[in-house]
Amino acid sequence: MTKSMIAHLMTPTEVAEYLGVSKETLNVWRCTKRYNLPYVKTGRLVRYRAEDVANFVTSRLQGDAT
């Protein structure tokens, strides 16, 4: 894995702040699989790929975007 790939990993705190939810909400989403927001888990560390977070936001878009 290159450094540029690692730079695109976001912490749960960063994702929660970006989405406007709490870290605990992200934990619930992961545990219950409520939303399809992919994550990377290594041991007990959880990280999110920035492109997956962006795709998640796009997939939640409602109404006419024009």
Domains, in order of start, for the chain: 3-59 (1.10.10)
What pLDDT does residue 64 have? 73
The helix/strand/coil state of 61 is: coil
Confidence of residue 7 (pLDDT cuts 50, 70, 90): low
Q: What is the pTM of this model?
A: 0.80
8-54 per-position pLDDT tens digit: 899 999 999 999 999 999 999 999 999 999 999 999 999 999 999 99
What pLDDT does residue 8 have? 84
What pLDDT does residue 6 have? 57
> What letter would DSSP give residue 43?
T
Asked if 33 and 13 touch (Cβ cutoff 8 Å), the reply is no
Q: Compute the distance between CA of residue 7 and CA of residue 24 in angstroms, rounded to an integer.
A: 24
What pLDDT does residue 24 have? 97
Q: Give the tokens for residue 51.
A: 């492109």
Alpha helices in 1-66 (DSSP H): 3-7, 12-19, 23-32, 50-59
